[in-house]
Amino acid sequence: MKIDLHFTENSDGTIEFTPIDVDRARLIYRQLIERLSYLRKKIDAKQNLLDITPKENDVLKKDCLIKIIMYKADLEVTQNQFKSVKKWYDNHKLPYPGSHKDRLKKDLLEDYKSRKKKKKLNTNEDIFRFNGDFWTVRYKGKEKFIKHTKGMDYIAYLFRHQAQDIHSMELYQAITEGIPDTDTRMSKMSSKKIESDEGLSKEDKEKYKMLTPEVLKTLENHRKQLETSRDKAMMENDSAKEAEISSELEKIENYIKKNTNKWGKPRDFPDRTEKMRISINKAIKTAKNNIDKVHKELFSHIDKYLETGTYNIYRPEIPIIWVQDN
């Protein structure tokens, strides 16, 4: 590219720079800097050669002087061009190429492009995010807005705890910070504490979660077996075994006591856990209906992989990263 084409000489002898665009201006700016450096090095080299050339070597000295004059003349023209380029940058309030401001601007531009590119790449992210009065949901590239209901909170909580069995009491408390028909002490309990107070571990509850007469009979038989084993441990002076069996017996007895009436018959449901289960199920059902109206794919996914009950769980075949924060 010929630099001189971008410069014109005014009537007063000043040089004016007229680039085609900013990119061309940047290129010429850098080329002039390189040209200035090149000419100064040439002048220094010829001056050094002139200084060490013997006086009697007139031919070499003359050649050095001529070259120095030519380089200085070229240097003056280049300096004037460079000044006009800088003036153009100043008039357009643009940072000089390579300056701190220019590098900062370039870094910001690169950061913007990177974020824009990242945002574009993230258009396929799965989103389930609360935005105040509504939820932004995106699944399989389809984005919709769903009005807020409590059921959306329950779904979001289960999305954050994939493949985890969440007890209805724990789930209810996590969203509402309270337990229906229970005192203050119970409302602050963790799910583990709740299970402990009710007498059985999660595994036991899965086995005996509906205390029917048949289940009650099974528990009674198991209690008798444990009592026999405890008596045997006492006779053998096995205090560790005795304590272990006694602890299990106490849990079963507490569970039976809390879930039977004064005549020893199973209590009628719903109990407090059942009330929460029903409340959660209704809320999630309402949320699913709202989702179904605008996003059939997401509704089908939730309907297939989210289960409600005494324990609630969201377990997709392939784990999904749901974006829930802004």
What pLDDT tens digit does each residue of the chain (326 aa) get? 455 678 888 888 888 888 888 888 888 898 999 999 999 999 999 899 888 988 888 888 888 888 888 988 999 989 999 999 999 989 988 888 887 776 666 666 676 566 656 555 455 789 999 987 789 999 998 989 999 999 999 999 999 999 998 988 889 888 875 444 433 333 344 444 434 433 334 444 444 445 667 777 888 888 889 999 999 989 999 888 999 998 888 888 887 887 777 777 766 545 667 888 899 999 999 999 999 999 999 999 999 999 998 899 999 999 999 988 76
CB 291 within 8 A of CB 159: no
Is beta strand 126-130 parallel, antiparallel or unpaired with respect to 134-139?
A: antiparallel
Query: In this structure, what are the phi and psi dihedrals at residue 221, rounded to the nearest 5 degrees?
Result: -65, -40
Task: Please give the radius of gyration of the chain, using alpha carbons only, rounded to the nearest integer.
Answer: 42
CB 166 within 8 A of CB 158: yes
Burial of residue 75 (number of CB atoms within 10 Å: 0-12, 13-18, 19+): middle
Which helix (DSSP H) or strand (DSSP E) does residue 28 occupy?
helix 22-52
Of 79, 80, 105, give the one whose Cα is nearest residue 10.
Answer: 80
Q: Give the domain 3-93 fold.
A: Methane Monooxygenase Hydroxylase; Chain G, domain 1 (1.20.58)
User: What is the location of CATH 1.20.58 in the chain?
Assistant: 3-93
293-298: long-range pairs with CB below 8 Å, 24+: 294/144, 294/145, 294/146, 295/137, 295/139, 295/142, 295/144, 295/146, 297/139, 297/140, 297/142, 298/137, 298/139, 298/140, 298/142, 298/144
> What CA–CA distance (Å, rounded) separates 39 from 307?
79
CB 150 within 8 A of CB 281: no
Eight-class DSSP state of 9: E
pTM above 0.75, yes or no: no
